[in-house]
């Protein structure tokens, strides 16, 4: 965008310069110098396509485990995956925080709650349990554990081994919206034994069966989605397809969305979570969508293409996909991927838009 200044004679140029200075002093900014950036033709995110390797993340988190205590103040030994396109901020994308959290043997992270929404996804290990509003929820490989907004939570490692997992939160979104509230919980840690199944699973974890006369809840009341169920759902999708049932997503690509049993909608109000399974050799249809996502490889290897970048990924590796960037995933081996995104926010605001296939070039 050119300003009218270029077309003006010298005295007017001086007057115009004076006008801009006076705008500045009066705390004013004209649209005509801002339009291209503020109202771009298509989304033009600051965040860039980026990849973090589990082989880098885990050893660094482990070093933090030796050097940095976990406790009041810092609250969590969580290390954010900070997008290089958003310098100086612990933001993985414009709206999403992804972090590796590490708890050493017999360590605990104290109770707190916040307006930010959170979940944990476990790529390896077990032995930590997270206490969500008093309900002890075990964390094991492949499980998705929820901590909805304003639920108290604390984490305990009851074993002799360290454990690390992926946290996903809407910290950047809540920060941008000036909507953050935070409260410490009691300092006395829960010491109760960790049961195999949480109360939430016993009440809400039976497929197709809900406690009668329970009203719909905005966030899922089920705090744990177990790998055994996720795995079975994906295997069945691909097995059905092999028997001639039309593919639910696309050939060789099965996917499930984690849902709130009381609504059928997303588990969390601001974050969508999914697990995808690709057969070896499959390439997904190119897709571009408004809003951002973070993918983590759960098992297998492949290549993730985002905009003009490509990342060869294996178990535990994490990829950030900023808004409106073309995404294609190629499975070298059979490939299981966990995805979380800010889709529910865009859908609620009427800003969702997705293009699949070759149309998505622009």
Per rule CB under 6 A, is residue 113 in the interface with ligand GTQ?
no
Per rule CB under 6 A, is residue 70 in the interface with ligand GTQ?
no
Smallest separation (angstroms) from ligand GTQ to the CB of 113: 9
Contact with ligand GTQ (CB under 6 A): which of 169, 271, 278, 319?
169
Smallest separation (angstroms) from ligand GTQ to the CB of 74: 10
Per rule CB under 6 A, is residue 271 in the interface with ligand GTQ?
no
CA distances from 233 to 55, 248, 286 (A): 29, 12, 24
Per rule CB under 6 A, is residue 117 in the interface with ligand GTQ?
no
Smallest separation (angstroms) from ligand GTQ to the CB of 100: 8
In angstroms, the CA 221 to CA 260 distance is: 7
Instruction: Give the pair of three-digit tokens for residue 40.
Output: 């771009």
- The helix or strand, by DSSP H or E, that contains position 79, with its residue range, turns out to be strand 78-80
Q: Give the interface segment with ligand GTQ, choosing from 13-21, 72-80, 121-129, 325-333 (CB under 6 A).
A: 72-80
Per rule CB under 6 A, is residue 153 in the interface with ligand GTQ?
yes
Per rule CB under 6 A, is residue 101 in the interface with ligand GTQ?
yes
Q: Give the interface segment with ligand GTQ, choosing from 19-27, 37-45, 73-81, 135-143 (CB under 6 A).
A: 73-81
Sign of the alpha-carbon torsion through 3, 6, 9, 10: positive
3-state secondary structure of 341: strand
Instruction: Give the pair of three-digit tokens for residue 54.
Output: 């589990």
In angstroms, the CA 145 to CA 163 distance is: 15
Q: Which of 119, 159, 151, 149 is nearest to 135 (CA)?
A: 151
Per rule CB under 6 A, is residue 137 in the interface with ligand GTQ?
no
Q: Determine contact, residues 230/142, Cβ cutoff 8 Å.
A: yes
Contact with ligand GTQ (CB under 6 A): which of 50, 78, 294, 335?
78
Residues forming contacts to ligand GTQ in the complex (CB under 6 A) are: 75-76, 78, 99, 101, 114, 118, 153, 167, 169
């Amino acid at each position: 965008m050119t300003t009218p200044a270029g077309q003006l004679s010298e005295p007017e140029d001086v007057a115009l310069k004076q006008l801009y200075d006076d705008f500045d002093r009066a705390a004013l900014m004209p649209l005509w110098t801002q339009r291209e950036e503020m109202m771009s033709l298509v989304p033009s995110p600051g965040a860039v396509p980026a990849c973090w390797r589990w082989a880098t993340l885990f050893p660094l988190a482990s070093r933090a485990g030796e050097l940095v205590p976990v406790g009041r103040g810092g609250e969590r030994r969580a290390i954010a995956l900070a997008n290089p396109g958003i310098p100086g901020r612990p933001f993985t994308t414009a709206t999403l925080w992804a972090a590796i959290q590490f708890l050493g043997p017999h360590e605990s992270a104290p109770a707190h709650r916040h307006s930010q929404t959170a979940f944990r996804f476990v790529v390896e290990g077990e032995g930590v349990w997270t206490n969500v509003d008093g309900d002890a929820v075990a964390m094991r490989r492949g499980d998705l554990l929820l901590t909805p907004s304003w639920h108290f939570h604390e984490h305990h490692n009851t074993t002799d081994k360290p454990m690390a997992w992926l946290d996903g939160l809407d910290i950047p979104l809540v920060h941008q919206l000036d909507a953050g509230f935070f409260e410490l919980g009691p300092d006395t840690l829960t010491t109760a034994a960790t049961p195999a199944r949480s109360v939430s699973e016993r009440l809400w974890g039976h497929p197709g069966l809900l406690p009668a006369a329970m009203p719909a809840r905005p966030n899922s009341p089920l705090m744990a989605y177990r790998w055994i169920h996720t795995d079975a759902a994906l295997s069945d999708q691909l097995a059905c397809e092999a028997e001639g049932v039309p593919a639910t997503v696309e050939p060789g690509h099965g996917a499930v969305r984690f849902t709130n049993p009381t609504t059928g909608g997303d588990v969390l109000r601001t974050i969508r979570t999914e697990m995808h399974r690709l057969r070896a050799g499959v390439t997904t249809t190119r897709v571009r969508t408004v809003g951002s996502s973070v993918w983590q490889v759960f098992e297998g290897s492949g290549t993730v293409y985002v905009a003009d970048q490509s990342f060869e990924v294996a178990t535990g590796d994490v990829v950030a996909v900023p808004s409106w960037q073309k995404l294609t995933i190629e499975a070298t081996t059979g490939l299981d991927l966990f995805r979380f995104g800010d889709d529910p926010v865009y859908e609620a605001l009427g800003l969702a838009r997705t293009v699949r296939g070759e149309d998505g070039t622009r």
